[in-house]
């Protein structure tokens, strides 16, 4: 399955999803060809996957921090 970052997905789908609406993992975006947080699924209310979510948030925070250097 093709994976796209939020920016590429919103642009393609005409949607306005945010990091709060989706599950993200660091991977290669097939839209812009960069290693970024890509959308792997949509968050469900009360999801028991909070640990994976926490890990992905840490990865994304590190990515944002490193991309500012």
Single out the residue of 10, 19, 28, 31 in contact with Zn ion (rule: CB under 5 A): 31
Cβ closer to Zn ion: 7 or 52?
Answer: 7
Binding residues for Zn ion, rule CB under 5 A, total 5
5 binds Zn ion (CB under 5 A): yes
Cβ closer to Zn ion: 32 or 61?
Answer: 32
* DSSP per-residue string spanning 1-69: ----BHHHHHHHHT----TTTEEEEEEE-TTT-SEEEEEEEEPPTT-S-HHHHHHHHHHHHHHHHHHT-
Smallest separation (angstroms) from Zn ion to the CB of 22: 13
């Amino acid at each position: 399955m093709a994976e796209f970052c939020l920016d590429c997905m919103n642009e393609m789908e005409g949607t306005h999803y945010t990091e709060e609406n989706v599950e993200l993992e660091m991977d290669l975006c097939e839209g812009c060809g960069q290693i970024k947080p890509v959308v792997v699924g949509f968050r469900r209310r009360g999801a028991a996957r909070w640990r994976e979510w926490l890990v992905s948030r840490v990865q994304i925070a590190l990515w944002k921090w490193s991309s500012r250097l």
